[in-house]
Amino acid sequence: MTVFEVKYEDLAGRIGILKTRSGNLETPVFFPVINILKDEISIDEIKNMGFKNFITNSYILYKNKYIKDDIHKELNSEDMIIMTDSGAYQILEYGDIGITNYEIVNYQLKIKPDIGVILDLPTGNTNDYENAKITVYETLKRIEEASKIIVKNQDNNIIWVYPIQGGKYLDLVKTSAEGLSKFEDIYNMVALGSPTVLLERYMYDTVIDMIYTAKSNIKRGIPFHLFGGGLPHIIPFAVALGVDSFDSASYIIYARDNRYITRTRVYKLEDLEYFPCSCPICSKYTPKDLLEMNEEERTRALAIHNLYTILEEFKATKQAIKEGRLFEYLQEKAYSHPAVYSAFKRLIKYKDYLEKYDPRIRGDPKGLFLFDNNSLHRPEIIRHSRFLERYVQKKDKVAIYCYDKAISDTAYDYIKSIKERITDHNSSDIFIAIPFFGLIPLEVSDSYPLSQFEIPNEIDEDVIADMKTKIVSFLRCKNYQKVELVNCEKLGLHIDSISTSS
C-alpha cells in the first residue's frame, strides 16, 4: 500500500503527502498529544489552530473503556486524522502496565484510528546495554506477533507503525531498523522511540545519531516518525535527516510547569517581561497577566501559545525546504543554544548522507548564502569539489582570476566582467578562484549555483585556508606548464606559494 508521496526535497528532508483513509496530510507534520480524559486543550481548539490531526493513547482509552467502537465517530472527529499510541510511554514511566501487545493491537483494530502502533518495549535512556538489548529483541518479537494479527485484518486500512528501539546504542538501533525488511508489506510507517529523556537533557547530538542510524538502515520511501519530538529547537535538524512526522505532549507538560516555548529556547514565565510572540495569547496578555491567572487558566493559555510556536516552526521549516534553503536555516538555528550547535555539528558529520538525497536540480533555484566554515559542508560545495576532482585538463597553461568584492559586489558580476575581458579562450584553462568553491572553471560558471551565491565581505581565515588547499591540491594533480595568477594578492595566493609538482 502506497501511503507516502514526496513533493519537495532539500538535504535529506522532504515535504510529502501522507495518505490515510481519513484524508491526506502534508508533512513534515506535528501530532499534538491529546489526553481525552483531560480537557486542558480540546480537539476543537487544536482544529481551530490549524491542525488536521492529533495522537491519543489507546492504552488509556482501553483501560478507561472510553472508546468502544469507531474513534472518529465517538470523538466527533471524522474530519481529523487520528494516530493512536500504544502505551509504551506508560511502560517507560511505570513499568508493567498490565496489558498485552495482543490486546492493544486488537483494540486499535476495533476503534479504527488512521495510524496505529503496536505495544513496543521502549529503551529509554538506560545506561545498561544488556537491558537496552532486551528492549530491542522484545520489540522485534512483538512486531512479529502483531504482524500476524494485522495480516488477518488488512481490510481495516490502518497505517501500522514499525517502532525502532535501541536508545543511544547505535548498533542496537541499526539491528532494530534492519528488522523492518521482513515486514515491509505490513508496516507502512516507521517510528524511532526513546528520544524524550535525551531531548529533555539537551542531548540533541545523540538524538541526531539515533535518527541517522535508523534512517540509513531503512528504505528512503517509507514515512518516518519521531516519538516525543516536541521541541522547536531540534525539529528542523530532524527534518533535515528525513523525519516526516513528530508527536509530543511537550506543549501541555511545559505549560503545567509555567514554561514558555519559543523557537530558540524555553523560558520560565516569571523570567519574562515581554512576550517575543504575536500569537492570540501573546497579543492579548502580558507575562504579568498570565502570572496573575489561576493555575488552570494559565496552563491553558501557555499550552495554546506553545502549540502555536511548534506550528510556526513547522511552517518555517517547510518554507526553507521549498526554497532550497534548509542548510542556511539550520545554520541560523545553530547559534540559538550550545546544545543546538552541537546538534548541527553532529548533523554535518553526515554530510555525505545529506548530499546523497539533496536534489541536484530545483524548479526555482535560489542563490546560496555562504557564511563561515560550516557552509563548506553544504551539498552544493561538496558536489563542486567532486566535480573539480574529475575535471579534465585541456591546455598546458592555466589562468586563475581571484574574486574580489571590492571590484564587483557579486560573483556573477565579476565572472561576467572576466568573460568580457578575455577574448582568447584557446591558450589557457581559465578559472575563477572564490572562497568556499575554490576554483570555478569559466566555461561552466553560468551553471547553478556557481555564480548564484552571496559571501561575506570579511571571509574567515579557515575558509581562505580551505580555498588555498583546494587550489594547490587541484594544481598538483594536473600537469600545467605555466600558472598565471591575476588579482590574487588579497587572497594570499602567490606563484611562489604554489608548486605544481607532486
231's grid cell: 521541541
To the question of whether residue 120 is assigned a binding role by annotation, the answer is yes
Neighbours of 79 (CB within 10 A): 10
Is the pLDDT assigned to residue 56 strictly greater than 90? yes
Residue 255 has pLDDT above 60, yes or no: yes
Whole-number Å distance between alpha carbons of 23 and 2: 14
279 annotated as ligand-binding: yes
Q: pLDDT digits over 104-135, tens only?
A: 999 999 999 999 999 999 998 889 999 999 99
Region 425-438 average pLDDT: 89
CA angle, corner 458, sides to 457 and 460, nearest 5?
Answer: 140
Which pTM value belongs to this model? 0.94
Query: Nearest-5° angle of CA 189, CA 204, CA 263?
Result: 90
pLDDT band with cut points at 50, 70 and 90 for residue 489: confident
Crossing angle of helices 204-215 and 170-178, in 10° steps, is 30
Is 282 annotated for ligand binding?
Answer: yes
User: What is the distance between the alpha carbons of residues 382 and 175, in angstroms, rounded to a whole number?
Assistant: 30
| Contacts of residue 311, Cβ cutoff 8 Å, sequence gap at least 6 | 30, 49, 50, 51
Domains (range + CATH), the chain:
2-352 (3.20.20.105), 367-495 (3.40.50)
401 DSSP β-pair partners: 432, 486
Asked whether 438 and 388 are in contact (CB, 8 A), the reply is: yes
114 vs 29: CA distance, rounded Å? 15
Does residue 172 surpass a pLDDT of 60?
A: yes
466: cell is 580551505
In contact, 208 and 346? CB cutoff 8 Å: yes
Q: Are 34 and 76 in contact (CB under 8 A)?
A: no
How many residues would you count in the chain? 502
Average pLDDT estimate for 483-498: 78
Residue 85 clears pLDDT 80, i.e. is over it: yes
pLDDT tens digits, one per residue of 315-354:
999 999 999 999 999 999 999 999 999 999 999 999 999 9
Catalytic residue among 85, 114, 244, 429: 85
The pLDDT, as a whole number, for residue 435 is 93
Amino acid at 147: S
197 vs 89, 252, 395, CA distance in Å?
11, 16, 60
Q: How many whole angstroms separate alpha carbon 340 and alpha carbon 263? A: 12
Q: Name the pLDDT band for 424 (thresholds 50, 70, 90).
A: low
At residue 500, the pLDDT reads 46
62-70, long-range: CB < 8 A, 24+ apart = 62/99, 62/103, 62/104, 62/107, 63/99, 64/37, 66/36, 66/37, 67/36, 67/111, 68/111, 69/110, 69/111, 70/111, 70/112
Measured CA to CA, the distance from residue 12 to residue 29 in angstroms comes to 16
pLDDT at 497: 62
Please write down the HEC assignment for all residues of 314-355. HHHHHHHHHHCCHHHHHHHHHCCCHHHHHHHHHHHHHHHHHH
Rounded Cα distance, 267 and 11, in Å: 31
Tell whether omega for the bond before 113 is within 30 degrees of 0, i.e. cis. no
- The values of phi and psi at residue 401, to 5°, are -105, 125
Check if 85 is active-site: yes
Question: Beta-carbon neighbour count of residue 208 at 10 Å?
Answer: 24
Interatomic CA distance for residues 122 and 92, integer angstroms:
6
What is the per-residue pLDDT for 498? 64
Residue 38 makes CB contacts below 8 A (sequence gap 6+) with none
Alpha helices, DSSP H only, in 348-447? 351-357, 379-389, 411-421
Residue 406 scores a pLDDT above 80:
no
CB 187 within 8 A of CB 221: no
d(CA 106, CA 111): 9
Q: Give the pLDDT band (50/70/90) at residue 502.
A: very low
